[in-house]
Structure 1
Amino acid sequence: MAAAENIEKGAPGSEQELDQSARADGLNFDIQMNQPLAQFARLGTPAYAAESKLGAAGRFYAMVLDPDYPPRTKALRGLRGVRMPGLTWLEEWAVVPWPAANGAQRLICVFRRPNGDPLMDAKYLAPAPMPERQVVTDVVQPVLETLLDLFRLGLTHGAIRPNNLYRCRDQGRVVLGECLSVPPGADQPDIFEPLDRAASEPLTRGDPTMSDDVYALGMTAAFLLVGKHPTPELNAKGLLRKRVEGASFMLLSERHRLPYGMLEFLRGTLQDDARDRWTLMDIDAWLKDGTVPQTKLHLPKMAGWPMEFLGEPHTTLRSLAYTVARSTDIEGAKDFLLSRKFRNWMARGLDEERMLPALDALFGEREEKSIDKMAEAVSTACMQLNPQAPLHYKGLAVNPAGMGTALAARYDDPDFRARLIEMVKSNIPLRWLGAQAEADGYLGVHKLLTKAQGLASRTGWGFGVERALYEMQPMARCRSPLLHKYLVYRVEAILPALEEAAAAAKEPFLPVDKHLVSFVMSRRRDFSIGLLEGLDGADEFVKAQAALRFLSFLEEKTENPDGWPELARMLGSMLQPGIDRILRPRRKAELQKKTDKAMEEGKLSALQEVFKQGGLFEQDQREFKDASFRWRLNQTQILSAEHDEKLLVQRAGELGSRIAFFITVSLSFVSVAGIMAFMLI
């Protein structure tokens, strides 16, 4: 079973795309917005009473999921309509307009309401401690069966805790509450998470493994045995400090007398190292015949004397490394790690002098570098000192498997987004993955982060932080401002959303932006960036042509026999300036006719055919220039002929005058000669 539970850690796959084929009538339930159910509400996810439109028996409640939280798609598909004993039943889910969000779409899940109370209230108080036998028969046994059923579906729970366990009368057993409305671990109290997950930012914990659920089951049993929170005097920071310095099991055993018969179960399920923790089959063997796997409680090595950092003494290297890694004073952390007192403590207090040369080399490489490089060095140093800790960077603690979920959920937080993207662009997440004892379980995460690292570092359409988001979290919604009212998880859902947006728009808009392009490129490997040529230019007609090519590509991937009339009309109007540039009246009229027909049919591909006819506009301009040149040449020839004609007339007049003068003179001479001859006679 141990091998079977080695599920890959938190790498979401493309096969987990959410089916958005919404029914025309939406949900089969009426949501009573005037009846909120605070007891079922979770982080950013309100709950409301719901009634079946089909008259189904029972009581139901609906969860309105936060649009920024990537949904657990595999679990939504696998659990819909499944009557799994020991689990709150998911009746159905759908993406529908939500009135409280001004008609914006929301993913809504409807569950059958447990007809019983939780085992503990929100403050983890119970009327009395639960007897050992009852904990085993009423809680451990049924929850184990449910976890095995989930495992057969390839799922985990991720939200096991006493106030999410209900005494369900219609099932006649204790049932687990829902685990689908928020990302895994987002609202799970730290004490119910293994140490590595508890030390991470909640949204970065990633998908849980069965081993994580085993730990939560063990801690839940401890709560029920004690009858209250076992460490109410400790805040989150103090609780983490105690667990880091010792062990989670010791945290309980030092404060409470636990039943002898449950000690081995608690010791085995509450191991901080997942490699030593019991598996589901180990628990099953313990329940059936009392078989107890050999487990040893591993405690961190104690130093000969405490080492102080930021005013806090630390007696273990693990505790010190956690505190140094979480410090936001990067230069102070670097100076401490290079200080003589730290080196002396490592060599004499812990006998770990062998680790110092690696630290010296690490900081020596970055002696005069930027604060970001210094932060990378501190992060890497703490990683070497405590490989099992989460990845730390500038005070932020993350599990790289959950970085995509955190980026999607907190994308609008510029500081958080910037720090996360800095980490993605660096090598430290990949370094952390390689340092893990179970590195093979992170192969999918390693692949995603390797790709995201290169894409986040590039600029332009289809790259940058937008592309990194969609590569790291394939179930993130498309965050394009053009689709702010729509939940788009699939490429096929883009055109229907844009069609509605175009119908509601008061004026035309360019139906493409960097989020849309990055979203499509992350999900369609056959998309060519060449289709977007001209989008960065100033010519609005050229940009409209690029947008048309982009939407025509989407049209090929989206089935809709009715076409996209609103988008076609809008793009047609944006392409009109190109038609107006046509100078041949006959060609212009023909082009206008084809455009109007494509707009009427709503076929984007037909509209694209009109505007990609072998350089139609360039040809028209060339022909116009040729015609203009020929006209100017003809005009020159005409003017030259007219000038020659005038010159000939002028020359003819001059010649006639000369001939007339000659004739006149000749006649004069003849006349004079005649007169003289007459006088001589």
Structure 2
Amino acid sequence: MAQEPKATNNVKSGPVVLRERFEIDPSKPLAALDMPNARAFACSDRRNPQRPVYALIVDGPLPPRVGVMRTLRGVSATGLLPLMEWGVVDWPALDGRVMAVVYERPMGGRVMRDMGEVFQPVPDQHFIKLVLKPLVAALGELRLHSVVHRAIRPTNLYWMDREQTRIALGDCATSPPGYDQPMICETIEGGMANPEGRGAGYYPADMYALGATLVTLSVGHNTRSDLTDDEILTSKISNGSYASVVGEERVPLAVIELARGLLVDDPAQRWTLDAIDLWLNGRRTMPLQTKQDKRSQRPFSFRGDEYFTCRSLAHALARDWEAGAVPIMENKVETWLRRGLEMTELADSVSNIVRASNATAKEAGPIRDLAMAAVLTLMDPVAPVRCNKIRMHMEALGTALACTLALRGDVRPYVDMIMRDFAKTWVAAQDDFQLDYTRFDGEFRDLRSYLVQTSKGGGVERCLYELNEALACRSALLLDQCVVEIKDLLPALERAAVKADRKQWPADRHITAYIAARYPRDTMAQIHSYNDPDPRKAALGGLSLLAVLQWKLGPESLPSLTEWIAGLMAPVLEGYHSRERRKRLEKEMPKVVRKGSLVELYHLLDNPEERQADFDGFAVARRQYAQAAQQVAALESGNYRVSEKSEKLGQQTAATVSVAIAALSIIIVTIISLV
């Protein structure tokens, strides 16, 4: 589960306003409406004060689904909790900014407060009208907007009125898709994945969750509350989902056929909204049952248990990673596939992978882990990718990486998977190949190109933002600023500049990668300069990178950020050779800082005319200095010789002076003799 959100206590400030319309009161929490990754607070609508609303403040560590917020804003549909507005607001309790989502407030409360609660089930005669039809209508509306809910569970259903006659699906935007789902509401494939690796999936996942939820609502409690998550998943694999979810419960007749259709383990045969509509109109046909996996005549024994199918054995081997490596790397699994299941082609593929890995059961490391992951994928292609601690579906790579970083986990396994191009292995293993799968190959190719860029603007940080188009910037400078849009980056840095360490550059690896992913068109040349080994060029590159953003996106004035960056321009000033010019620039910089213009600061420090004049003046000075140095050296060595031109001029001058002196001498002698 997600880490607990930060506490919100002793709040004395006034309401926080979202979009100049919704007033959120930080001093009035609504704990009964909290979500795992967000806290609920009282809220009022300035335009319609009579309408009950409340706000969810996403102060947990996990990334919300901003794309879903954008899509569902203003959507009003039967059976769906209306999302009124969303956005980033100042939050005094955290001394920062957070994501806020405003919903219409359900006055009847939650249908089920927690998965361990026992409650009065909805009567059979009202079940279809009160529960099924509104939820089907909600899913239909979501489908029209291309949204997969991925949070359908009994604890996320609400009664919109105090009389409890109108039910609605709750929030699906404040947590990653599927992250908070109980095991009973997850498909086998979803349950095999880690919470962060479940992914948004497809509509059949919502239909499955609907089926499990309807069973719970019809009997008044969680039918599998006596089992652990692992026991529930193992039961589903062995016995099928319907038998595992329903168990020994006496499900109302009106729900049995519906549950059978929705809990089919094969997503291709699982009931759709159209099938439910046909069922509601009297076309009651028995759901098709999932085709059973091929069973071996001889079981595979592993850690005291026996396994007869590829899926059950792959699941067992993945659960105990170190022990599971032994039978795979010692070719025992290959032998069982060849002799027990008579799957020669699969056995050959497994043998090739093990041989190519050049690893043994005792050689732990990325090569062995990826070899095991490839074998498990071949044995169960529709299961999530299982590589040591990674358990994720391919479409969930971005979410898994974001959650791992948010929870300070180890991202190296994801890097190894990308660098070794595991997408090709996964695509090749799929029995039901779809054209859409090829996008993973191209995606991994792009990600590898970012990973090999070890400089700022590349690396795993760039992969993070390329995979998550609406993820807030994860820079340590901006963790409390919730920067979702590129236009909000500079204002956030302006606020951060007040308490930041100004010896460090404001554009760290995360910020540079965020800019590269969100605004690559006009910034790649600047990022390249920012990574230059020459301190002067790097400083100018960092300045120009942020100056371009201010020029293109605003705001007009950023005095604190400009002052911060001006203090880092020593390498640029030292790049000028003229002391007089450096002093003049230092004198003019405070005027630009007061204006808060990074653009003017850049033009001041990198004026082409000033730079050329400084270069030309320095070149002249160097020549003069070199000539003087040569003359001094010649004089000191006694080898000083004047030039031929100078010597001739000297001779002429000497001759002229000599003649003048001689003439003067003759005149004087003549005068004396006459006297």
Superposition TM-score tier, normalisation by shorter sequence: 0.7 to 0.9
Amino acid in structure 1 at the alignment position of 2:468: Q
TM-superposed CA distance for 1:537, in Å, is: 6.7
**Is residue 117 from structure 1 mapped to residue 113 from structure 2 by the alignment?**
no
Residue range with higher mean Cα deviation, 533-542 or 564-573? 533-542
Amino acid in structure 1 at the alignment position of 2:149: H
- Which residue of structure 1 lines up, in the alignment, with residue 562 of structure 2? 568
- Which residue of structure 2 lines up, in the alignment, with residue 358 of structure 1? 349
Amino acid in structure 1 at the alignment position of 2:622: K
Structure 2 residue corresponding to 1:265, chosen from 258, 272, 293: 258
1:538-564: CA deviations, max 9, x gaps?
76544422211211222233133x332
Q: Superposed, which structure 2 residues align to 1:572-611 within 5 Å? A: 572-576=566-570, 578-579=572-573, 582-584=576-578, 587-588=581-582, 591-592=585-586, 595-611=589-605
Between the aligned partners of 2:558 and 2:245, the Cα distance in structure 1 is 63
Q: Superposed, which structure 2 residues align to 1:68-147 within 5 Å? A: 68-101=61-94, 103-147=95-139
Between the aligned partners of 2:151 and 2:74, the Cα distance in structure 1 is 20
Secondary structure of the 1:303 match is: coil
230 and 584 in structure 1: CA distance in 2 versus 1, 3 angstrom threshold:
closer
Structure 1 residue corresponding to 2:144, chosen from 141, 148, 152: 152
Q: Superposed, which structure 2 residues align to 1:216-295 within 5 Å? A: 216-252=209-245, 254-292=247-285, 295=288
Between the aligned partners of 1:608 and 1:121, the Cα distance in structure 2 is 58
**Is residue 622 from structure 1 mapped to residue 615 from structure 2 by the alignment?**
no
435 and 342 in structure 1: CA distance in 2 versus 1, 3 angstrom threshold:
closer
Between the aligned partners of 1:416 and 1:320, the Cα distance in structure 2 is 27
**Is residue 480 from structure 1 mapped to residue 475 from structure 2 by the alignment?**
yes
454 and 592 in structure 1: CA distance in 2 versus 1, 3 angstrom threshold:
closer
Counterpart contact for 1:70–1:475, Cα < 8 Å: no
Q: Higher Cα Rg: structure 1 or 2?
A: 1
TM-superposed CA distance for 1:110, in Å, is: 1.9
TM-superposed CA distance for 1:484, in Å, is: 3.0
Structure 1 vs Structure 2 CA RMSD:
3.4
1:136-190: CA deviations, max 9, x gaps?
2221111111111121122222211222222222794211112111111110112
**Is residue 545 from structure 1 mapped to residue 540 from structure 2 by the alignment?**
yes
- Which residue of structure 1 lines up, in the alignment, with residue 657 of structure 2? none
TM-superposed CA distance for 1:455, in Å, is: 1.6
481 and 625 in structure 1: CA distance in 2 versus 1, 3 angstrom threshold:
farther
Secondary structure of the 1:482 match is: coil
Residue range with higher mean Cα deviation, 547-556 or 443-452? 443-452
Residue range with higher mean Cα deviation, 380-389 or 370-379? 370-379
Between the aligned partners of 1:182 and 1:168, the Cα distance in structure 2 is 22
Counterpart contact for 1:192–1:216, Cα < 8 Å: yes
TM-superposed CA distance for 1:300, in Å, is: 2.4
Structure 2 residue corresponding to 1:453, chosen from 435, 448, 451: 448
1:593-625: CA deviations, max 9, x gaps?
664554343332232223333444544543432
88 and 540 in structure 1: CA distance in 2 versus 1, 3 angstrom threshold:
same
TM-score in terms of structure 2 length: 0.83
Amino acid in structure 2 at the alignment position of 1:389: A
Between the two proteins, the alignment pairs up a number of residues equal to: 624
Counterpart contact for 2:107–2:161, Cα < 8 Å: yes
204 and 66 in structure 1: CA distance in 2 versus 1, 3 angstrom threshold:
farther
- Which residue of structure 1 lines up, in the alignment, with residue 308 of structure 2? 315
Counterpart contact for 1:325–1:395, Cα < 8 Å: no
1:408-436: CA deviations, max 9, x gaps?
12205555322222222222244324534
Secondary structure of the 1:411 match is: helix
Counterpart contact for 1:326–1:395, Cα < 8 Å: no
TM-superposed CA distance for 1:240, in Å, is: 0.6
Between the aligned partners of 1:25 and 1:226, the Cα distance in structure 2 is 41
TM-superposed CA distance for 1:119, in Å, is: 2.8
445 and 284 in structure 1: CA distance in 2 versus 1, 3 angstrom threshold:
farther
Between the aligned partners of 1:136 and 1:169, the Cα distance in structure 2 is 18
Between the aligned partners of 2:51 and 2:327, the Cα distance in structure 1 is 62
TM-superposed CA distance for 1:272, in Å, is: 1.3
Q: Superposed, which structure 2 residues align to 1:494-573 within 5 Å? A: 494-505=489-500, 507=502, 509-527=504-522, 529-532=524-527, 535=530, 541-560=536-555, 562-573=556-567
Between the aligned partners of 1:133 and 1:430, the Cα distance in structure 2 is 52
Counterpart contact for 2:192–2:391, Cα < 8 Å: yes
180 and 431 in structure 1: CA distance in 2 versus 1, 3 angstrom threshold:
same
Residue range with higher mean Cα deviation, 70-79 or 611-620? 611-620
Between the aligned partners of 2:344 and 2:577, the Cα distance in structure 1 is 83
TM-superposed CA distance for 1:350, in Å, is: 2.9
Secondary structure of the 2:296 match is: strand
Between the aligned partners of 1:94 and 1:413, the Cα distance in structure 2 is 23
Between the aligned partners of 1:603 and 1:392, the Cα distance in structure 2 is 51
504 and 24 in structure 1: CA distance in 2 versus 1, 3 angstrom threshold:
farther
Between the aligned partners of 2:548 and 2:536, the Cα distance in structure 1 is 19
Counterpart contact for 2:223–2:247, Cα < 8 Å: no
**Is residue 489 from structure 1 mapped to residue 481 from structure 2 by the alignment?**
no
**Is residue 161 from structure 1 mapped to residue 180 from structure 2 by the alignment?**
no
Between the aligned partners of 2:557 and 2:547, the Cα distance in structure 1 is 11
- Which residue of structure 1 lines up, in the alignment, with residue 52 of structure 2? 59
Counterpart contact for 2:17–2:89, Cα < 8 Å: no
Q: Superposed, which structure 2 residues align to 1:369-388 within 5 Å? A: 371-388=365-382
Secondary structure of the 1:49 match is: strand
Structure 2: give runs of 5+ residues left out of the alignment: 1-15, 655-675
Secondary structure of the 1:182 match is: coil
Between the aligned partners of 1:189 and 1:426, the Cα distance in structure 2 is 33
Amino acid in structure 1 at the alignment position of 2:140: L
Instruction: State the structure with bigger RCO (CA 8 A, min sep 6), 1 or 2.
Output: 1
- Which residue of structure 2 lines up, in the alignment, with residue 661 of structure 1? none
Between the aligned partners of 1:341 and 1:431, the Cα distance in structure 2 is 21
Counterpart contact for 2:37–2:60, Cα < 8 Å: no
Amino acid in structure 2 at the alignment position of 1:531: Q
Secondary structure of the 2:299 match is: strand
- Which residue of structure 2 lines up, in the alignment, with residue 3 of structure 1? none
- Which residue of structure 1 lines up, in the alignment, with residue 180 of structure 2? 187
481 and 259 in structure 1: CA distance in 2 versus 1, 3 angstrom threshold:
closer
Secondary structure of the 1:92 match is: strand
Between the aligned partners of 1:237 and 1:544, the Cα distance in structure 2 is 54
TM-superposed CA distance for 1:202, in Å, is: 0.8
Secondary structure of the 1:410 match is: helix
Q: Superposed, which structure 2 residues align to 1:407-426 within 5 Å? A: 407-413=401-407, 415-426=409-420
Residue range with higher mean Cα deviation, 183-192 or 78-87? 78-87
